Amino acid sequence: MAVSSWVLVTGGAARLGREIGLAFARSGWNVLCHYRHSQDAAQATAAEIRALGGECALVGADLSQPRAAAELLGACVAAAGQAPRCIVNNASLFDADDAASASAETLQRHLATNAVAPLLLANALAAHLRTRDTPAPGGWHSVVHVLDQKVHNLNPDYFSYTVSKLALQGSVALQAQALAPHVRVCGLSPGLLYPSGPQSQANFDRASQVNPLRRPIEPADVARAALFLAENASLNGCTLQADNGQHLVPLARDVMFAIDENRQP
């Protein structure tokens, strides 16, 4: 009997999380689709995954809560009957601030959802696997921390968000060292994919061309990069940049603000 593989995709209801769930399902994986508020969208994504022939279970959690990661991993084991083979830490908070307006509250809020929860989910998976009598082959289980091209191409806009993603980026190597041989840990840095925050569609349409390939980044390509990290058992402690090379285009401000200051990107 074939061994079923389950992936937990946090923030899996819509946008990149939905693409990631669909990419895994197309490759024969079953999906644990995590959501917080987007239950209707999560159900729609689950229907798409089932139409592809995969199983899909919905798991809800507010990842800003200190115990959320451990409880979510427990809910996943209960729903799938086994630990997820991969966790894609995709859920993220992206609220605007800058270095001057960042506060203890904005920093802690971004760190809780964007760094603490992903790190504790990875820890919870490794802790669960350590208790098993029969260890899985090395490299079988993995965690993909979704980062951002911003961490390779710094500017001080979205300050608290960027600090949280930098913390997660730095932890890729730390967790790859600490959680081996039970869990591989890799990073995945997308570039601009969707309009976010105050960004208008017109601004997004221009900003999405600001990369060496001068065309929008395909979310499905980013999703397939997550699948590649999960399925290639030799990848550990590395980060893939799926961004049309956007990280090679330095800007003094976030691209959504930079293009309004300079109308010829």
Q: Which is nearer to ligand NAP, 5 or 90 (CB)?
A: 90
Q: Which of 228, 96, 244 is nearest to 159 (CA)?
A: 96
Site string for ligand NAP, 56-75 (x = CB under 6 A): -----xxxx-----------
Q: Which is nearer to ligand NAP, 72 or 182 (CB)?
A: 72
Burial 113-123 (b: 16+ CB within 10 A, else e): bbbbbbbbbbb
**Sign (positive or negative) of CA dihedral 152, 156, 158, 159:** positive
Strand-strand pairing, 184-190 and 56-60 = unpaired
35 lies in the site for ligand NAP, by CB under 6 A? yes
Return d(Cα 16, Cα 192) in angstroms, integer: 11
Q: Which is nearer to ligand NAP, 80 or 243 (CB)?
A: 243
Return d(Cα 109, Cα 60) in angstroms, integer: 19
Site string for ligand NAP, 153-192 (x = CB under 6 A): -------------------------------------x-x
Stretch that binds ligand NAP, among 85-93, 95-103, 233-241, 247-255 (CB under 6 A): 85-93
Residue in 30, 113, 175, 236 binding ligand NAP, rule: CB under 6 A = 113
Q: Give the ranges where the chain is alpha helix by DSSP (H).
A: 15-26, 39-51, 68-80, 104-111, 117-130, 159-179, 201-207, 219-231, 255-261
Residue in 14, 129, 238, 249 binding ligand NAP, rule: CB under 6 A = 14
Which parts of this chain interact with ligand NAP (CB under 6 A)?
11, 13-17, 35-38, 61-64, 90-94, 113, 146, 148, 190, 192-194, 196
